[in-house]
């Protein structure tokens, strides 16, 4: 009996000793898991614009930090190479391929610091499963068969890709703040190209009427700084009705003075006005001498026709968004280039050419059409069209004077 009693006391002692150890190990494991969750941080990075045309609108990336493992990486959907075969042709055609790249954060930071672009970091308010899910999505995207994608400037770019992966990782729905402004693609582009008038003109010549239609806030997020603004005011609506902000805080992690772009000695409008004046002077001299300067016709109509070939290619062939509705095709098309040999022949032989009379009427109708067009034309187009009109009128006057 005494032995049984001692044995029971021994069993009780063992149980009382083991249970606290088990509880301690369980608590320690819970603390470790909690530490691992807290040690992971994802942030949305927004980079200020640079001076190159592909840098004018800024950039977006995702930063992944694992403090317990000392990992600090940037997932960047904006990687591309100018050395890609037929890069220029593929870019104009709308078949540019971008890819997801991964780089250590210090390299990313130094690149933008040297470029003179500040970087803003928005720390995302994600729960542990959401962080693990986002990491899984990014790693899956980085697989060789997934990392390359067909870039589309307005609808599928480095910013929209980052936004979509963040949304796909969240257990709930991201609700973005409503706004009372009305924006268009062209309007947003103008906001970031106002200090680069030649780049703005080039983009305006390519974009069509579709770029002037109002776009909702989701489409406005193609722009990195619009994405940053909407993320700042967004919240996550969970299935149980709870809400939490999408962004915990924002920090300026790269703070540098922006590099100053070299100013152009002449603006597009200034160049267009000089073009108009030159046509007026040449037209007057032609009228006085009763002779057409066919050398000027070669330069003028070849330039108009080449510009028309580019716009026609974008209109009919390119898959770029909005370029298929470009009403500038009326003014810039390949017809002058195709007709140029016949025009020069008639100029040299001093023969009448009905093309100039038709062109005069055609350009006059275009000038009358501009105020009623569904497309917002760059104002530089007006003196350009007027210069062509003056040239056509001078031909008609010279031939009539003869």
- Per residue, the 3-state secondary structure of 271-315, as one string, reads HHHHHHHHHHHHHHHHHHHCCCCHHHHHHHHHHHHHHHHHHHHHH
Q: Are residues 61 and 191 in the same domain?
A: yes
pLDDT of res. 327:
96
pLDDT interval class at 241 (50, 70, 90) = confident
Separation of alpha carbons 386 and 283, rounded Å: 12
Burial of 189: CB neighbours in 10 Å, binned 0-12, 13-18, 19+? buried
User: Mean pLDDT over all residues of the chain?
Assistant: 87
Given 228, 254, 280, the domain boundary residue is 254
| Of the candidate ranges 49-53, 60-64, 104-108, the one whose mean pLDDT is the lowest | 49-53
- The yes-or-no verdict on residue 147 having pLDDT over 70 is yes
Q: Are residues 274 and 236 in the same domain?
A: no
pLDDT of res. 280:
97
Residue 174 vs residue 17, higher pLDDT:
174
Q: Are residues 250 and 130 in the same domain?
A: yes
pLDDT of res. 88:
67
Q: How far is CA 28 from the centre of its chain?
A: 48
Given 231, 254, 277, the domain boundary residue is 254
- In terms of residue numbers, what domain contains 397? 268-401
Going by the DSSP 8-state scheme, the letter that residue 337 receives in this structure is H
- The yes-or-no verdict on residue 244 having pLDDT over 70 is yes
User: Does residue 16 fall inside a structural domain?
Assistant: no
* Structure tokens, 71: 């990992």
Q: Are residues 246 and 275 in the same domain?
A: no
pLDDT of res. 95:
80
* Interval 260-267 mean pLDDT: 77
- The yes-or-no verdict on residue 267 having pLDDT over 70 is yes
pLDDT of res. 8:
36
- The yes-or-no verdict on residue 28 having pLDDT over 80 is no
pLDDT of res. 381:
96
* Interval 371-386 mean pLDDT: 95
Q: Report how far apart the first and last C-alpha atoms of the chain are (Å, whole number).
A: 141
pLDDT of res. 13:
40
User: Does residue 6 fall inside a structural domain?
Assistant: no
* Interval 23-50 mean pLDDT: 65
User: Does residue 15 fall inside a structural domain?
Assistant: no
Residue 4 vs residue 279, higher pLDDT:
279
pLDDT of res. 82:
65
Q: Are residues 299 and 378 in the same domain?
A: yes
| Of the candidate ranges 160-169, 226-235, 287-296, the one whose mean pLDDT is the lowest | 287-296
Given 187, 222, 254, the domain boundary residue is 254
- The yes-or-no verdict on residue 47 having pLDDT over 90 is yes
Q: Are residues 104 and 236 in the same domain?
A: yes
- Per residue, the 3-state secondary structure of 103-166, as one string, reads EEHHHHHHHHHHHCCCEEEEEECCCHHHHHHHHHHHHHHCCCCCCEEECECCCECHHHHHHHHH
pLDDT of res. 80:
81
Separation of alpha carbons 93 and 150, rounded Å: 12
- The yes-or-no verdict on residue 188 having pLDDT over 50 is yes
User: Does residue 1 fall inside a structural domain?
Assistant: no
pLDDT of res. 23:
37
- The yes-or-no verdict on residue 20 having pLDDT over 90 is no
pLDDT of res. 12:
36
Pairing between β-strand 148-150 and β-strand 119-124 as defined by DSSP bridges: unpaired
User: Does residue 7 fall inside a structural domain?
Assistant: no
* Interval 267-283 mean pLDDT: 96
pLDDT tens for residues 205-223? 999 999 999 999 999 999 9
Q: Are residues 130 and 241 in the same domain?
A: yes
Number of domains in the chain: 2
Q: Are residues 204 and 340 in the same domain?
A: no
Q: Are residues 216 and 114 in the same domain?
A: yes
Backbone angles phi, psi at 46, to 5 degrees: -125, 120
Q: Are residues 244 and 315 in the same domain?
A: no
pLDDT of res. 360:
94
How far apart, in Å, are the Cα atoms of 269 and each of 117, 118, 266, 331, 381? 29, 31, 8, 17, 9
Q: Are residues 167 and 289 in the same domain?
A: no
Q: Do the Cβ atoms of 156 and 97 come closer than 8 Å? A: no
User: Does residue 260 fall inside a structural domain?
Assistant: no
pLDDT interval class at 320 (50, 70, 90) = confident
Q: Are residues 43 and 176 in the same domain?
A: yes
pLDDT tens for residues 73-97? 999 999 887 666 776 677 778 788 8
User: Does residue 22 fall inside a structural domain?
Assistant: no
User: Does residue 127 fall inside a structural domain?
Assistant: yes
């Amino acid at each position: 009996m005494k032995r049984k009693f001692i044995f029971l006391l021994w069993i009780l002692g063992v149980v009382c000793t083991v249970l606290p150890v088990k509880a301690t190990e369980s608590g320690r494991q819970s603390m470790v898991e909690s530490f691992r969750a807290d040690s992971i941080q994802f942030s949305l990075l927004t980079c200020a614009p640079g001076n190159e045309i592909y840098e004018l609108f800024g950039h977006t990336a995702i930063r992944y930090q694992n403090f317990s493992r000392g990992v600090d990486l940037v997932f960047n959907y904006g990687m591309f190479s100018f050395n890609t075969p037929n890069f220029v042709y593929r870019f104009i055609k709308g078949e540019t391929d971008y890819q997801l790249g991964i780089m250590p954060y210090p390299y990313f930071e130094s690149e933008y610091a040297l470029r003179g672009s500040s970087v803003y970091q928005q720390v995302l308010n994600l729960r542990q499963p959401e962080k693990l899910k986002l990491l899984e999505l990014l790693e899956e995207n980085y697989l060789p068969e997934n990392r390359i994608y067909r870039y589309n400037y307005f609808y599928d770019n480095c910013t929209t890709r980052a936004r979509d992966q963040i949304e796909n990782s969240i257990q709930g729905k991201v609700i973005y703040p409503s706004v009372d402004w009305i924006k268009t693609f062209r309007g947003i582009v103008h906001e970031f190209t106002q200090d680069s008038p030649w780049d703005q003109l080039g983009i305006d010549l390519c974009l069509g009427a579709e770029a002037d239609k109002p776009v909702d806030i989701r489409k406005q997020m193609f722009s990195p700084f619009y994405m940053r603004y909407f993320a700042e005011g967004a919240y996550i609506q969970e299935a149980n009705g709870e809400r939490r902000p999408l962004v915990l805080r924002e920090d300026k992690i790269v703070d540098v003075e922006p590099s100053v772009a070299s100013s152009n000695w002449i603006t597009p409008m200034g160049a267009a006005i000089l073009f108009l004046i030159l046509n007026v002077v040449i037209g007057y001299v032609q009228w006085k001498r009763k002779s057409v300067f066919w050398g000027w016709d070669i330069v003028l109509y070849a330039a108009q026709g080449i510009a028309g070939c580019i716009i026609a290619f974008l209109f009919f062939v390119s898959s770029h968004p909005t370029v298929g509705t470009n009403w500038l095709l009326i003014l810039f098309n390949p017809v002058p280039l195709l007709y140029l040999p016949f025009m020069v022949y008639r100029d040299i032989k001093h023969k009448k050419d009905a093309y100039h009379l038709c062109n005069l009427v055609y350009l006059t109708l275009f000038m009358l059409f501009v105020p009623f067009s569904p497309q917002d034309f760059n104002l530089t187009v007006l003196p350009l069209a007027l210069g062509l009109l003056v040239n056509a009128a001078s031909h008609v006057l010279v031939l009539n004077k003869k």
